[in-house]
Structure 1
Amino acid sequence: MTEQATPARTSARAAAVPALLLAAGALCLWASSRMTWVRIESSDGLGVARTTDLIGGTWAAATTPLALALLAAIAASFAVRGWALRVVALLVAVVAVAAIVPAVQLLATDVDPDRAGRLAELPDRADVTHTEVLAGPAALVVAGGLLALGAAIALLRKASVSTGLSSKYAAPAARREEAVKRAESSEPPSQRVLWDALDAGDDPTDPEPGDGRHDQDGPGGTPGT
Structure 2
Amino acid sequence: MITQKAYYVATAADKIYCNPKGDLEWKGFASQMLYLKGTLQKLEIEPQIFYAGKFKSATEPLREDRMTDANRLQLTELLGDFYNRLLWTTAQARNLDTSTLRKCVNQSLIRRAQDAYDYKLIDGLRYDDEVKDEIRSKLNIDKHAYLNFVTLGKYAKAVSYKQTGKDKITLIYAEGEAGGRKRRSGRDRLGDLSLADPQGTLRQGRQSHRAPDQFRRRQLAGQREYLA
Q: Who wins on radius of gyration, i.e. which is larger? A: 1
User: Does TM, scored on the shorter chain, surpass 0.5?
Assistant: no
Which TM bucket (shorter chain)? under 0.3
TM-score (norm 2): 0.21
Q: Give the helix-richer structure, 1 or 2.
A: 1
